[in-house]
């Protein structure tokens, strides 16, 4: 994202944990900013190295490698964060209810969001590190048990 693009960004700044900010797609940052406005509560970038742009540490073909993905901790329920991500146009949304962030605030449960081409793809990682669909996770009560 180039310097002048930051003028329209209200809730994030270029000094956050983006990785190489020059490699992060403007659309990703704009959607995160829009999601933050829609949600009405803070969204923190994961403090982990490679949370947005990365050159390693993710699955083969990860959208983190192209600056089109971010790992985030919204200060909201997992359900409200999921709805906000869908409503603001993210096309890849992974729910990680057992992730935790402890600074600057404690948030249990995070999301992977990306701007992949095509239709919406969603998933949930369970506590045992297996993956399932969002409807199945709802049936299992995952949205009701963040951090447990």
Read off the pTM.
0.91
Percent of the chain with pLDDT over 70: 93
Q: Provide the pLDDT confidence category of residue 117 given band limits of 50, 70 and 90.
A: very high
Packing angle of the helix pair 78-87, 26-39 (nearest 10 deg): 130
Residue 111 has pLDDT above 70, yes or no: yes
More confident residue, 143 or 80: 80
Number of domains in the chain: 1
CATH number assigned to the domain comprising residue 30: 3.30.1380
Percent of the chain with pLDDT over 90: 68
Q: Provide the pLDDT confidence category of residue 3 given band limits of 50, 70 and 90.
A: low
Angle at 17 between CA 16 and CA 19, to 5 degrees: 125
Domain of residue 71, residue span: 3-144
The CA distances from residue 11 to 19, 24, 43, 47, 94, in Å, are 18, 16, 9, 17, 22
């Amino acid at each position: 994202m180039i310097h002048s693009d930051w003028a329209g960004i209200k809730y994030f700044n270029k000094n956050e944990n983006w990785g190489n900010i020059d490699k992060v797609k403007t659309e990703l940052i704009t959607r995160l900013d829009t999601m933050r406005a829609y949600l009405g509560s803070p969204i923190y970038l994961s403090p982990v190295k490679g949370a947005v742009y990365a050159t390693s540490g993710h699955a083969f073909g990860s959208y983190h490698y192209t600056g089109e993905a971010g790992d985030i901790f919204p200060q909201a329920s997992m359900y409200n964060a999921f709805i906000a991500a869908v409503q603001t146009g993210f096309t890849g949304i992974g729910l990680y209810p057992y992730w935790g962030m402890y600074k600057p605030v404690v948030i249990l449960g995070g999301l992977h969001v990306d701007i992949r081409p095509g239709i919406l793809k969603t998933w949930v990682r369970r506590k045992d590190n297996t993956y399932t669909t969002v409807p199945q996770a709802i049936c299992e009560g995952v949205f009701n048990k963040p951090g447990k």
